[in-house]
Amino acid sequence: MTQRALVFIVLLAWCSVFARAQRGPEYDAVVVPQNRIDARDLGYPPADVIPNGDSAITALTVAPNGNVYGATSGKAAYLFVLNPRHGYVQPLGTIPDTAAVSNALAVAGSGEVYIGTSPGGHLLVYTPQREDRQPIRIKEACAVKDLGVAVKGESIAALAIDREAQMIYGLTSPNAHFFKYDIAGSAFTDAGVVANSKPYGEKFETRKMFSAMLVLDRAENVYASGENGFLYKFNQAKQALEKLALQAPAIPGREPWTRVESFITDAAGLIYGGTSDGYLFRFDPAKLRVQNLGKPLLAPQITALALAPDGKIYGVGGSEQDMARLFSYDPAEGAYQLLGFVDVNRRPYYSWQAYVIKTMASGLDGTIYIGESERISRLYLFYPVTTK
């Protein structure tokens, strides 16, 4: 290469360097396709929105009628609903005495919404009443009924529901109690703990390691991860919590700091999990077998998973200090597709990228809802390409 050619290449590189200092068209290649994604403000801007600082979406769930319920965390926690026919987010008010709701929303077959609170540890129930006809509620409290404290002195860190049995299951923080709540009998039962002690570590590592979610199999057994990444099963038949001889995937030696960040169950009853180290795994509860499906991203943590109608698993990875990316896993092919940053570019009207994502949910029509979890947050709607 001649010196002149080298100089030209260097100069060309400088031009592109400066062009990249701001957003350029080439950035479109590193984000999800823009015809597949959109975003919703959490309310009606500019006034009637869940305030910045309280808008981090930390729980999403889909009701039997298709409505999407979400809860936020911040100085105050809010409940909201999105009716897919309407398409906008309707804030339902603050959740009383609550700063955070972390993967702790569950909707019963009746449509009642159960909310696990932090730091109080209360189980609340919200009964939807013609929400479409109600005004947006920002400053007012959401009308909820307090069902009591699950485990005294503990926050609720995750919820799941068995709609058939009308049973709610939960995990508490900081001491990792597994509890159940019998809706009909209005009674809590503490079934034991999934982590006894925090792992050894640096002075800033102060929490016990247990999963950020719970998941049910087709036999209505309930699973969590606990100390050293071991899977725990609440055995429906025995009504007892069992430690399984199975661990979530981890690099040997990293088990003490491993937890499952996200769970989903597919149509066949197989459970998929995403770990704190960023591994996706499949757990067959019938065969008691865990398969490590590898690491789709060069990032720690798979913070959320959702199931598409064609059986593909969609996931999001990245830590609190990272920039989240979306991927999919096709169980039929055993292959990943890396979809890029979760970004919506609808200029000149709005443009926003989600950097931290902690929750996803699959809508009844196949839309995947993605909850951004930052000081300023939005709800994203991702429309997967279905292959079946």
Interface characters, 345-384, with another protein (x: CB under 8 A): --xx--xxx-x------------------xxx--------
Q: How many residues does the chain have?
A: 388
Please tell me whether residue 298 binds another protein under the rule CB under 8 A.
yes
CB of 74 to another protein, least distance (A): 9
Interface characters, 299-338, with another protein (x: CB under 8 A): x------------------xx-xxx---------------
Give the residue with the Cβ less far from another protein, 215 or 356.
Answer: 356
Please tell me whether residue 18 binds another protein under the rule CB under 8 A.
yes
CB of 130 to another protein, least distance (A): 32
Using CB under 8 A, which of 22, 129, 186, 206 touches another protein?
Answer: 22
Residue (of 278, 327, 315, 314) closest to 298 by Cα position: 278
Identity of residue 203: K
For residues 117 and 125, give the distance between their C-alpha atoms in angstroms, rounded to a whole number. Answer: 11
CB of 374 to another protein, least distance (A): 5
Tokens of residue 313, six digits: 């698993």
Please tell me whether residue 251 binds another protein under the rule CB under 8 A.
no
Are residues 34 and 347 in contact, defined by beta-carbon separation less than 8 angstroms? no
Applying CB under 8 A, the span of 25-33, 99-107, 230-238, 329-337 interacting with another protein comes to 25-33
Give the residue with the Cβ less far from another protein, 299 or 305.
Answer: 299
For residues 170 and 237, give the distance between their C-alpha atoms in angstroms, rounded to a whole number. Answer: 18
Instruction: Give Cα 89 distance to the centre of its chain.
Output: 18
Element (DSSP H or E) covering residue 10: helix 3-19
Are residues 211 and 231 in contact, defined by beta-carbon separation less than 8 angstroms? no
DSSP 226: -
Tokens of residue 114, six digits: 């159960």
Please tell me whether residue 287 binds another protein under the rule CB under 8 A.
no
| Parallel/antiparallel/unpaired status of strands 144-149 and 155-162 | unpaired
Where would I find the H helices in the chain? 3-19
Applying CB under 8 A, the span of 17-25, 134-142, 190-198, 285-293 interacting with another protein comes to 17-25
Applying CB under 8 A, the span of 14-22, 86-94, 165-173, 357-365 interacting with another protein comes to 14-22
Applying CB under 8 A, the span of 26-34, 57-65, 76-84, 90-98 interacting with another protein comes to 26-34
Q: How many CB atoms lie within 10 A of CB 8?
A: 12
CB of 345 to another protein, least distance (A): 9
Using CB under 8 A, which of 26, 132, 205, 333 touches another protein?
Answer: 26
For residues 214 and 203, give the distance between their C-alpha atoms in angstroms, rounded to a whole number. Answer: 28
Answer whether the bond into residue 51 is a cis peptide, omega within 30°.
Answer: no
Give the residue with the Cβ less far from another protein, 228 or 319.
Answer: 319
Please tell me whether residue 184 binds another protein under the rule CB under 8 A.
no
Using CB under 8 A, which of 1, 3, 25, 245 touches another protein?
Answer: 25
- 50-89 positions binding another protein, by CB under 8 A: 52-53
Tokens of residue 48, six digits: 């009637």
Applying CB under 8 A, the span of 27-35, 77-85, 139-147, 208-216 interacting with another protein comes to 27-35
First-to-last C-alpha distance (Å) of the chain = 51
The CA-CA-CA angle for residues 256, 259, 265, to 5°, reads 145
Rg (CA), the chain: 22
CB of 254 to another protein, least distance (A): 17
Identity of residue 168: I
DSSP 31: B
Which residues form the interface with another protein (CB under 8 A)?
Answer: 11, 14-15, 17-27, 29-30, 46, 52-53, 298-299, 318-319, 321-323, 341, 347-348, 351-353, 355, 374-376
